[in-house]
Structure 1
Amino acid sequence: MTERMVMAKQVPSVQLAGMLRDALTRLNRRVRQTRPVGDLTATQLSALLSLELAGAMAPRELADAERVRPPTMTKIVAKLEQRGLVQRTPHPTDGRQVILSATQAGREMLAQFERARDEWLARRIAELTIDEREALRRAAEILRRVAEA
């Protein structure tokens, strides 16, 4: 057994949880900062992604999902709508409401952001040794299991 393996077994779960949370937070922050040149803000991108992942929803639902106040979401949606990334359609049962959804241009914008992030991460991973890449592959499987629990 290597020294590193012995040390890993001795790290208490609480300490390992903190180390892992810190590493994931830093990686997530760095990945989020990687994006193609453009003026879409992180907040706008997040709202657009929520619409794409969760599907069409009312502005209030989107505000709740993004944890912002409805007036703030109104401004965010207006900017996205001006750029043709979000569309409004009448609510099927409540004439006072609208439903928001990502447009094709919005989905393409999200795909562009995803490609930029994947390319950045792939470049960083390519700099690692074969053993480190294998460790990341195993860690990815483990993290997926932890997230599903």
Structure 2
Amino acid sequence: MKYVTRMAVILMLPLIPLLMGSTLQASQMLTIKPSTYSVSETIDRLEAVLKKKGITIFARVDHKAGAIKAGINMKADAQLLIFGNPNLGTPLMNENILIGLDLPMKALSWKDEKGKVWLAYVNPSELKRRHQMTKNEIFFNKMKKALNALTNKALAH
């Protein structure tokens, strides 16, 4: 469990500016969508949609449960889903292995101070920019299109 907690912290680093209220062009770096479901239901629904499409689920991290277990109060309910598709990710890693710091993909659902639930993920175009990748445009486009469609399906009624 310590490994999962450490991994969760490492994987969440790119989202820290957003979660702290920074305006570091979050709209370009992240896709953030409102959810009418609870945090747990949002991640349940996304996990089901991804599994149905044959996408591998690597881990699910309940940040609040981890905080409680550590004896720390965490205000927000938040869960992270780590998932991926080797058919899309492997060609990208063959171009630049450092994109492996951001792959597999992650989606975070959390409840804000007003009780609103959200679902966020890093835009594939941000991954391309961050890792200065110039090839494999087709894979980034497929990833962007798939993430949008799959998250929309998970959030639909």
Q: TM-score, normalised by structure 1?
A: 0.28
Going by fraction, where is strand more abundant, 1 or 2? 2
Which structure has the greater CA radius of gyration?
1
Where relative contact order (Cα < 8 A, 6+ residues apart) is larger, the structure is 2
Q: TM-score, normalised by structure 2?
A: 0.27
Going by fraction, where is helix more abundant, 1 or 2? 1
